[in-house]
Amino acid sequence: MDVSQLTDAELRDSLKSHGVSVGPIVATTRKLYEKKLIKLSDGSINNQSNLNDSQFNEDSLIISSSPKKSPPQRVFQNVSAATAAATTSPESDSDDCEESMRYLTEEEMAADRASARQAQSNKGGFLGSTITFTILFVFIAVFAYFLIENAEQLKLVAETNPEDTI
């Protein structure tokens, strides 16, 4: 069997039939998946779970009782292919890392364009924004004028009554 001639979907299906969890097949991952399939079809890997991720079981931690200080040995239990297949559904979009989409009909595109035009016409245009900006500028200018006038009066009051300070 020539693995390089398989399409991405055929490669994915054949790997899934061997119990291998398959991610997206792109140019960078295709050769890796082809090698896995060749090893599986040749029978050089008898245990399929070596290709899948292993799951660490905390109960199976073994600590060596030797006098030298060596790091503890960890025992990993492999997840069976049936358990791995049961946790992911083959029909979900996340298996292929693709999102579903559909083409819009002409009526839907026309309705979308009409709502975009409606939203833009409700903005008020250039004249409305100019009037709003002018009113805001006048309000800020009047506020600044009264602030400066009152600051001068407060300064004069503070200078005439020096005995009020402690």
pLDDT (tens digit per residue) in 6-62: 888 888 998 898 888 888 888 888 888 888 888 888 875 554 444 444 444 444 444
Confidence class for position 97, pLDDT limits 50, 70, 90? low
Element at 156 (helix H, strand E): helix 125-160
Task: Name residue, tokens 């693995």.
Answer: 3
Look at residue 137 in the predicted model and tell me its pLDDT: 97
Q: Which of 9-18, 81-90, 109-118 has the lowest mean pLDDT?
A: 81-90
Residue 100's identity, in one-letter code, is S
What tokens does 46 get?
């008898």
What tokens does 38 get?
């060749």
Q: Is the dihedral of CA 89, 90, 95, 99 positive or negative?
A: negative
Q: Is the dihedral of CA 36, 33, 10, 38 positive or negative?
A: negative
What tokens does 143 get?
């506020």
Question: CA-CA distance, 37 to 28, in Å (whole number)?
Answer: 16
Look at residue 63 in the predicted model and tell me its pLDDT: 47
Which residues have CB under 8 Å from 16's CB, separation 6+? 22, 85, 90
Task: Name residue, tokens 């600044």.
Answer: 144
Mean pLDDT, rounded, for 76-95: 54
